[in-house]
Amino acid sequence: MKFVKSFLDHLDGLSARELVLKTVYLIGIFSAAAVLTAAVLMRKILSDIPSVDKLDEYTPSLTTYVYDINNSVIAEFSVEKRAILPLNKIPVDMQNAVIAMEDQNFFRHWGISPRGILRAAMRDVLHRRIAQGASTLTQQLSKLIFLKPEKTIGRKIKEMVLALQIERNFSKQEILALYLNQIYFGTGVYGVQSAARLYFGKDVSEMTLGECALLTGLIPSPERFSPFAHPDRARQRRHLVLQRMREEGYITEAEAKAAEAEPIPDEKFSMHSGHAAYFVEYIRQQLEPKYGTAQLWKGGMKIYTTLDLSMQIPAEEAMERNLAKYDQVAADALAAQKKEDEAEDKDKGAEDEEKDAASPSSTTLQGAFVILDTRTGAIKAMIGGRDFQTSKFNRVTQAARQAGSTFKPFVWMSALLSGYTPASMIEDSPMAYYNDGKDWRLLEGATDQYAIDLAVQPFVGNKDFQIWVPNDFDGKFLGRITLRHALEQSRNLASIYLVTHVGPTLVADVAHRAGVKHNLDAVPSIGLGTSLVNPLEMASAFSTFANGGIHAEPFGVLRVTDNQGRVLEESVPEETEAFSPQLSYVLVNMMKGVIQRGTGIKASTLKRPLAGKTGTSQDAKDMWFIGMTPDLTAASWMGYDDFASIPVKDWSSSLAVTWWTDIMASVFKNQPVRDFPVPDGIVFVTVDQDTGKLALPTCKHKILEAFVKGTEPKEFCDAQH
């Protein structure tokens, strides 16, 4: 206050002329200081302003799309859902709606609107906050691409400077195209193309006037004006956009009224199929390490796969329908068993507690299903479980389960390689094995149950002496039977007989040559499928037999391109010759009998040439069926994730056949009916099924059997029928 008083007293002593000079002097000093301060502030504000030269190279975060074999979108990988289109692919109605609503002087200004800025400044002062944007489309674009979403004077200045630079370097058409591809429409969607798919389920080029107006109305606040959450607000915004378009002369009154009558969308359209989640994750796990997270999720790649949604979708529906039914049957069976146990012993004791503990803890059966192109190995369908959101564990590729009797074709191929034929007689008789500390050995002479009991009696209770007495599911012994009959009826003892004579090492080698990847224990029980495998490798191995002995490695990706359409990778089938076409055909011909007369007979309702094999693992923990044609090979598996037994007495592997057949009935509708081609070097002769010898007219059980030329039987049947 003293300084001010002293300054005023000083002025009182000056003449008028001196007072004017002093005033001018002071104003000059303050003006210079203000200019200097403003310059310093502007320099600070503009020091980190980005160069618009980068706009030429600007690549926004783009969506990577995954397609099926028919170019239908299966899924997408994205941080921001966005697709880039040229301006000529965007409807004129959409362009006009945005200009009318957001910047009607777009084609007349040079980046900023001084009148709009002044009007906004006055409103900001009145509201005592920075609220009114008054941004041109160019300013909005500069903010979207280059600046942080903050409300400060400094950012506003940067926005205007960038807008001026953008206008100087780019045409109006280029700016409008960038804006329409960049603007946010809510729900993680950017750009008009992705917005059209989300809100209307169509390509942007197919949008109507009303749809263009609706999208434009979302721009200021997509959540506030969302037609899904606030349909009345969305309708009002659409009306406002149409009114502005009519005022600007873009549409007529009649066109506006027609657009007003269009319905408002009430639910989001899926931007992908919503199916094949396990397959999509299988693809992601392959490609993400190869191309990197940023490229996969932001690079706008196109991934063309082998999957066929026309097979995948009915497969998902049929598997869930059948397993849900089995869940109920299992629950009823468990309840009945519990009631029966309680009736037998009303006093719950330790024994009952042990029974309860042994009951399966699972309440939901799981399943897996996969279809391969027999000739190429292309994955046509893949279901890794019943619900990807609940469990992302892919039981097609990641499971390790016992194959049960589905492993037997590898034993039978080993037998064919060792000189056996479909008419060879093998034993389905009692046998026992003992372990000498190094290996399992056949207990010689133990060829009936009495002899087995007698032989093992001295060792009962000896922990160092292990005995294994295999048996069949029906507890019966069929004696001497043909190789074919043993496979059709899935005889365990016959399989172990073969393993004993050809060697478990050969069986393991055959399985690996066919396509099994897991390590296999070369022990006698290998013939019962006790080793762990997964459905994909089993389907792949079976397809080797169906493909004339040529193994085609399974694959899911056909081609990958970048966002410019350049091919990054392209797949071709990986083929190796595993077995001769002749032996492969002989084995497949026997496996056709599994469908025609054996354990897989339920699949015969499909009325086409099929070969396959059923399987149930120890204690009914796994149920399988794998079936094949010359074109497709499909594997089904069911079981509990915690390895509990499936708790229904009458259930068998035929259940897996049932829903496999349900799925394939739909799949085969569009597939040609073809039989397995007969290679050169194969002859057909009629044999007696009881003796394996050439059939006579008096033989009751005859069959036309396939043989590698020179191995067919030469003797006629001598049995008394």
The pLDDT of residue 360 is 44
Q: For residues 455-483, give the mean pLDDT.
A: 76
pLDDT for residue 260 is more than 90: yes
Cβ–Cβ < 8 Å for 448, 430:
yes
Residue 663: how many other CB atoms lie within 10 Å:
24
Instruction: Compute the mean pLDDT over every residue in the chain, rounded to the nearest whole number.
Output: 86
Q: Are strands 575-577 and 611-616 parallel, antiparallel or unpaired?
A: unpaired
Instruction: Pull the structure tokens for residue 373.
Output: 């192109």
Question: Parallel, antiparallel, or unpaired: how do β-strands 64-67 and 73-77 relate?
Answer: antiparallel
**DSSP symbols for 315-371:** HHHHHHHHHHHHHHHHHHHHHHHHHHHHHH-SS--HHHHHHHHHS----S-EEEEEE
pLDDT-derived band at 115, boundaries 50, 70, 90: low
Considering the entire predicted model, what is its pTM? 0.78
Q: Which residues, 6+ apart, have CB-to-CB distance to 291 below 8 Å?
A: 299, 301, 560, 568
Mean pLDDT of 385-408: 95
What is the arithmetic mean of pLDDT over 410-426? Answer: 97
Q: Over 50: is that where the pLDDT of 132 sits?
A: no
Q: What percent of the chain has pLDDT over 70?
A: 81
Task: Outline where DSSP puts E strands in 584-715.
Answer: 611-616, 622-628, 632-639, 682-688, 702-708
| pLDDT value, residue 1 | 54
- Kindly state the average pLDDT of the residues 437-455: 70
Q: Is the pLDDT of residue 178 over 60?
A: yes
Q: Which pLDDT score is estimated for 50?
A: 60
| pLDDT tops 90 at residue 258 | yes
Answer whether 542's CB lies under 8 Å from 579's CB.
Answer: no
Cα–Cα distance measured from residue 493 to residue 631, given in angstroms and rounded to the nearest whole number: 33
Q: Tell me the mean pLDDT in the region 657-672.
A: 95
How far CA 302 is from CA of 65, 70, 196, 716, in Å, comes to 5, 14, 19, 64
Helix axes 92-102 and 172-182, enclosed angle (nearest 10): 90
Instruction: Please give the structure tokens belonging to residue 224.
Output: 């506030």
Average pLDDT over residues 222-243: 96
Q: How far apart are CA 122 and CA 134, in angstroms?
A: 11
Sign of the CA dihedral 616, 621, 625, 626? negative
Instruction: Report the C-alpha gap between 416 and 421 in whole angstroms.
Output: 6
Please tell me the least confidently modeled range out of 91-105, 481-495, 649-663.
649-663
State the fold for domain 80-274: Penicillin binding protein transpeptidase fold (1.10.3810)
Q: What is the DSSP string of 611-635?
A: EEEEEE-GGG-EEEEEEE-SSEEEE
With CA atoms as reference, report the closest residue to 313 among 649, 666, 609, 565. Answer: 666
Amino acid in the structure at residue 58: Y
Residues comprising the chain, all counted: 721
Alpha-helical segments (H) within 103-152: 114-127, 137-146
pLDDT at 149: 53
Q: Is 291 left (phi over 0), alpha (psi -120 to 50) or beta?
A: alpha
What pLDDT does residue 122 have?
60
Q: Are 272 and 64 in contact (CB under 8 A)?
A: no
147 pLDDT more than 60: no
**Distance separating alpha carbons of residues 510 and 527, to the nearest angstrom:** 12
Whether pLDDT at 58 is above 80: no
Where are the chain's structural domains?
Answer: 14-46, 80-274, 680-721
The predicted structure's pLDDT at residue 10:
60
pLDDT value of residue 323? 94
* 82 beta partners: 190
| Burial classification of residue 356, based on how many CB atoms lie within 10 Å of its CB (0-12 exposed, 13-18 middle, 19 or more buried) | exposed
Tokens linked to 187: 């729900």
Paired tokens of 480: 């001497």
The share of the chain scoring above pLDDT 90, in percent, equals: 60
Helices (H), 515-580: 535-546
pLDDT of residue 26: 64
Spot the catalytic one: 102, 167, 537, 712. 102
Exactly one of 78, 113, 273, 405 is catalytic; name it. Answer: 405
Cβ atoms within 10 A of the Cβ of 583, count?
Answer: 19
C-beta separation of 638 from 645 below 8 A:
no
Using alpha carbons only, what angle is made at residue 682 by residues 677 and 686, rounded to the nearest 5 degrees?
Answer: 105
Tokens of 204: 């942007």
Phi and psi at residue 571, to the nearest 5° = -95, 145
* Predicted pLDDT of residue 301: 94
Contact 58, 166 (CB under 8 A): no
Residue 96 has pLDDT above 60, yes or no: yes
Does residue 211 carry a pLDDT above 70? yes
Residue 44 pLDDT greater than 60, yes or no: no
Where is pLDDT greater, at 444 or 533? 533
Report in angstroms the alpha-carbon separations of 629 from 504, 542, 589, 623.
Answer: 28, 10, 11, 21
CB 613 within 8 A of CB 619: no
Calculate mean pLDDT across residues 127-141.
66
**pLDDT level of residue 35 (50, 70, 90 thresholds):** low
pLDDT reported for residue 452 = 73
Indicate if the pLDDT at residue 6 is higher than 70.
Answer: no
CA-CA distance, 543 to 553, in Å (whole number)? 10
pLDDT confidence band for 342 (50 / 70 / 90): confident
Report residue 603 as tokens. 């699949």
Is residue 196 within 8 Å of 269, Cβ to Cβ?
no
Give residue 272's pLDDT band: very low, low, confident or very high (50, 70, 90).
low
Question: Are 443 and 433 spatial neighbours (Cβ–Cβ below 8 Å)?
Answer: yes
Confidence of residue 354 (pLDDT cuts 50, 70, 90): very low
Chain centroid offset of residue 410 CA: 30
Query: Residue 438 contacts by C-beta under 8 Å, 6 or more apart in sequence?
Result: none
Say yes or no to pLDDT of 668 above 50: yes
Question: With the C-alpha atoms ordered 586, 591, 597, 598, is the resulting torsion angle positive or negative?
Answer: positive
What is the mean predicted confidence (pLDDT) over 572-579? 96
More confident residue, 24 or 522: 522
pLDDT in tens, 620-636: 899 999 999 999 999 99
Average pLDDT (66-74) is 95
pLDDT tier at 155, thresholds 50, 70, 90: low
Give CA–CA dist 222/241, Å, rounded: 15
Q: Is 405 a catalytic residue?
A: yes
Q: Which amino acid is at 371?
A: I
Higher pLDDT, 41 or 305: 305
Average pLDDT rounded to a whole number, residues 643-653: 71
For residue 178, the SS3 value is: helix
Nearest to 651 by CA among 438, 475, 473, 469: 473
Show the CA angle centred on residue 40, arms to residues 35 and 42, nearest 5°.
Answer: 90
Concatenate the DSSP letters of all residues of 543-560 into one string: HHHHTTTEEE--B-EEEE
Which stretch of DSSP H or E encloses residue 403? Answer: none
